[in-house]
Structure 1
Amino acid sequence: MVQNSTFLPTYNEPPPTAAEYLRQALPLMSANNIPTDPINYTIWYEYVSGKNVQLKQAVDEIISSGGQFDSNINQQLYKKYVCDDSIESIEHIRNNLLNLIGSTMDTVELTNKKATVAEESFSSKTENLESAVDVNDIKSILNDIILETRELASTSTLLKRKLHETNQEVNSLKNELEKARDSALKDGLTGLFNRRAFDIEMDKIFNNNPSESQISLLMFDLDNFKAVNDKFGHLVGDKVLKFTASLLEKYAAPEHMVARIGGEELAILMPDTSRQNALFIAEKIRDKLSRSKLQKKETNETLGKITVSVGISQLRTDDDINSFVDRADKALYRAKENGRNQVIDETLLG
């Protein structure tokens, strides 16, 4: 579903929210002796927003261990948690492509030079041939022409082979670029789209007259997930997340976008989907997860009842991205307040 994507992060916060993040970020940067350049500010903007859970965990670990935020650490944080490691893949592809273009241009230039020399030589020998009367002179000129023709043919063959190799390498780089793009837009753990892809798709929808179609949004949050991590460890918690993600993918329609947008928070963006159908899908996922008897593989120890709370909103004509998401969030937290393991539609908020 994601098209015309970018490798750069996108932000949709309204000015008051962005200003509040600024107010929180600058003192933290100052306390940790971090220069306020654009890359560093992006890291701490995402940190205080709380949306980039993996970044927040990494930064908190550095702080708790007494580590220093030097330029290398800041670059690593930005590449891994803001622009992903795929940015290095893009740089690798770009450099390979530049080398490939340079090598091909060298071959083309060499062929052009040889063709120019051959053209001048053929012109000169044509004049000599027209004035030649001695048989031996004519044979000598013809022998020269044959040799130069063979050399030119060899150069032409070299160019054809080089262009063929270039075509193969370009196709290989194209495939590598597609993989890098997928990596930049996918969550490494679950294989779902990530927060960046979700934001890009939201921007795309709101730039294309969204009021003309029914669009629903499901927001999921695993119940008591911290307790699962604390009791069974993060590896088991990761498997629970992956299993839950697989349920979302199973019941979502092909045109739906399934994304992991936070630590244990998932979402399904549902174009051309009525509220009734969105409720049906949400309930199917909730019910299936609550009835799944998950076990710790090594010991067959049961994990207990794993459940999820779900909030639903449907796009209104006066919505912007924030209001659309905010209503689904509020419905989700109403589901939490009401006892968890349930689906709450925005219409029940009052």
Structure 2
Amino acid sequence: MKHDLLQLIKNSSSDNYSSQCIENIFSLYENVQYSHGIDSLIEIIYKWFNKNYNIKDFKSTFYNLEIDYNQVLFQKGNDFYLDNLTCKTFIIEVHYYKNLVIAINADNENDFAKIENDSIILSSMFFLLNPIIKDFIIQKELLQNSLKDHITGFYNRKYLDECLRNSQLANCNDKSTAFFMIEVDRFKSVIDEFDYEIGDKVLIELAKVIKSIIPPEATCIKLTGYEMLVLINNINEQRAYEIAKDIISKFANSEVLVNFYTGQTLKKTACVGISIYPEHSSSKVQVIKYADIALQEAKNIGRSTPLVYKKEIESSITLF
């Protein structure tokens, strides 16, 4: 690809088309350097394809082959299959098992023919952009890791604080959103009887149970040492209560391996407090507080208890 780029630069001195291509590529290169992150960078690339190749259907996906994970970073236009006859893909290797795939789908055969004819030019362009794309993806991963709990994989308290500060918590503006405050019953006894490693295993098991029941778009946050907050959009109180019961039931039947050699296992239970935004309050901070109040009252009632916040149970308990 480096050779192709150098050859294109060499040809630009005598060939008008090559000269125009070089101008377009370096114009794009200059623009992406002023982007604010990988998301805005990819949007700039999309606009470039739209302007130069009339591309309306565009998708960029990040793949982590090591853990079989993929995430769509940016998409415009209609969805399409990568094996479409008018689809062209470009793979940017970020790491030996991490790739960014940019896929474009032409409206017609003529537009696709132009893309195919310029395939060397486009490959040269991505060769030039590769270091910038790598840096932005690494920055994004570092930021995401700083906002994640390393035990459960859930977001951490820092993420919650950032979202509350920027009013971006779970995109729940003007939507009915259920807030679940979840805590393992008598978690401290696990630490006292065993150790922190077994305690972590219990939290990991609870996180697995939660993820297996809630919708994939739900937001999960680990707050304190053993308290978790889950947000689910577009849900009413009755459905929220059913989900809480499902989490409690499945977790109560789960086993955590304590001793590999003896086969000893441990079973624990959990309580769930529920509050609904904006039904209980238009303040998200207050709704979180209400979910915590409901949780504390559920724990007072007994193990494996789900409870929806009611004004009658309000106490002086505060989360913040």
**Smaller-chain TM-score bracket:** 0.5 to 0.7
Native 8 Å contact 2:205 2:256 kept in 1: no
Determine helix, strand or coil for the equivalent of 1:270.
strand
Count of aligned pairs between the two proteins: 192
1:340/1:349 Cα in 2 relative to 1: closer, same or farther (>3 Å)? farther
Task: Compute the displacement of 1:271 (Å).
Answer: 1.5
More strand by share: 2
From 111, 121, 142, the counterpart of 1:180: 142
Equivalence for 2:302 = 339
Determine helix, strand or coil for the equivalent of 2:235.
coil
Equivalence for 2:224 = 262
Alpha-carbon distance in structure 2 between the residues aligned to 1:338 and 1:209: 30
Native 8 Å contact 1:252 1:258 kept in 2: no
1:169/1:326 Cα in 2 relative to 1: closer, same or farther (>3 Å)? same
Which is greater in Rg? 1
Task: Compute the displacement of 1:275 (Å).
Answer: 1.2
- The AA in structure 2 aligned to 1:337 is N
- Work out whether 1:190 is the aligned partner of 2:149: no
- The AA in structure 2 aligned to 1:294 is V
For structure 1, which runs of at least 5 residues remain unmatched after alignment?
Answer: 6-160
From 240, 251, 255, the counterpart of 1:278: 240
Native 8 Å contact 2:160 2:169 kept in 1: no
- The AA in structure 1 aligned to 2:218 is H
Q: Aligned residues: percent identity?
A: 25
More helix by share: 1
Task: Compute the displacement of 1:240 (Å).
Answer: 0.9
Alpha-carbon distance in structure 2 between the residues aligned to 1:349 and 1:288: 29
Equivalence for 2:273 = 311
TM-score, structure 1 length as denominator?
Answer: 0.50
1:307/1:349 Cα in 2 relative to 1: closer, same or farther (>3 Å)? farther
TM-score, structure 2 length as denominator?
Answer: 0.54
Equivalence for 1:328 = 291
For structure 2, which runs of at least 5 residues remain unmatched after alignment?
Answer: 1-35, 38-122, 314-320
Equivalence for 1:156 = none
Equivalence for 1:241 = 203
Pairing of 1:117-156 with structure 2 (within 5 A): none
Equivalence for 2:93 = none
Task: Compute the displacement of 1:166 (Å).
Answer: 4.7
Determine helix, strand or coil for the equivalent of 2:291.
helix
Task: Compute the displacement of 1:266 (Å).
Answer: 0.5
Cα deviation, 1:186-233, whole Å, max 9, x if unaligned, reads: 1111111111222334443479783x3211100011111111011111
- The AA in structure 2 aligned to 1:342 is T
1:206/1:304 Cα in 2 relative to 1: closer, same or farther (>3 Å)? closer
